[in-house]
Amino acid sequence: MYSVRARFQCATLCWELLTDITFADIQAAAARIRGVAKRTPVLTSRSFDKEAGVSAFFKCENFQTGGAFKIRGAANFLYQIPKADLPRGVVAFSSGNHAQAVAIAAASVGAQATIAMPHDSPRSKMEATKGYGARIVIYDRFTEDRVAVGKKLAEETGATLVPPYDHPWILAGQGTAAMELLEEIPDLDALVVVIGGGGLMSGSSIAAKALRPGIRVFGVEPADANDTYLSLAAGKRIEIPPPATIADGLRSQIPGEITFPIVQKNVERIILVTEEEIRAALKYLLTRMKMLTEPSGAASAAAVLAKKLPPEVKRVGVILSGGNVDYEVLAGL
């Protein structure tokens, strides 16, 4: 258990970079977050299966509290902050879903949240974050460093910084999504998960491998946001320029320090999807399966729908990571 050894140092970005996160940590997270995170449904579609040539089981994090999986990690983090530190509030930097998640988790423990959001975040996400009671600080994603912005805010206010992915508590929380999926559908051949910073993937892959050691785990990135793809090929973390993909949740420029070794260990390979494939999947999920996903959320389904899995994969778990699509993107379809 990392949590015994991890020394929490409030109001800074410093933590021990412990990567020995185990399934027990994910189980502990599941118990901790039960009050705020939902057990989302697993849905299937005969039409999708026929089209894609597989049996797909969709873990619908688009129906999660806050509209994305992020509440799992945020709540697992917030609920472990020492009570004495909560009055100084929490700070996060996020393109949107982590922002909403931190705002909701903060409200549930009575702490003030301050969120640094990039200037081009989807309007719906900014509005929702404000709606949950958070204070928003805007920064320019192309000229300012979000980690520095977040760190400065935390230092100024004494608030605790809640990292978006690169922390054991965040990983362990995100892993509960795959844990629930495998508990419900134990006999999967493969699991398909999008990779932004890698929090969802690293947590999910630990849970999946624990519950079904032989499962094959595939990551998905937009072709334009292929930092993990390049990093795996290079054997080290590679930084890319700010990606312009429609999948705003997957615009990370470099894999996480903690998440990358886990991805290296557990992920068979990264499937790259085009913008067109992402749009097609979003539209398919909406018109045929009646559910709204955001582009980042539809990217995993895009990889399956575009038949980019090995042909021997028949039963595949697909995590739909979120549903907070901007209205303008939706109207564009």
Residue of 101, 115, 291, 299 that binds a copy of itself (CB under 8 A): 291
> Where are the alpha helices (H) located in 89-167, listed in sequence order?
97-109, 123-131, 146-157
Per-residue b/e over 59-87, b at no fewer than 16 CB within 10 Å? Answer: bbbbbbbbbbbbbbbbbbbbbbbeeebbe
Place of tokens 């393109």: 95
Would you count residue 110 as binding a copy of itself (CB under 8 A)? Answer: no
Q: Determine if residue 158 is left, alpha or beta; phi over 0 gives left, psi from -120 to 50 gives alpha, anything else beta.
A: left
Q: Which of 43, 123, 138 is nearest to 326 (CA)?
A: 123
Backbone angles phi, psi at 120, to 5 degrees: -105, 25
In angstroms, give the least distance from the CB of 127 to a copy of itself.
Answer: 10
Residue of 63, 79, 88, 137 that binds a copy of itself (CB under 8 A): 63
Residue of 62, 94, 204, 245 that binds a copy of itself (CB under 8 A): 62
Residue of 122, 164, 199, 323 that binds a copy of itself (CB under 8 A): 323
In angstroms, give the least distance from the CB of 329 to a copy of itself.
Answer: 12
Place of tokens 């595949």: 316
Greatest pairwise CA separation for the chain in angstroms: 55
Would you count residue 143 as binding a copy of itself (CB under 8 A)? Answer: no
What is the C-alpha to C-alpha distance for residues 59 and 282, in angstroms, rounded to an integer?
15
Span from 62-70, 139-147, 175-183, 188-196 in contact with a copy of itself (CB under 8 A): 62-70
Contacting a copy of itself within 152-181 (CB under 8 A): none
Would you count residue 129 as binding a copy of itself (CB under 8 A)? Answer: no
95 belongs to the catalytic site: yes
Residue of 65, 97, 228, 266 that binds a copy of itself (CB under 8 A): 65
Instruction: Using CB under 8 A, list all residues that contact a copy of itself.
Output: 38, 41, 43-44, 46, 62-63, 65, 67, 124, 286-287, 289-293, 323, 327, 331
Catalytic residues, which ones? 70, 95
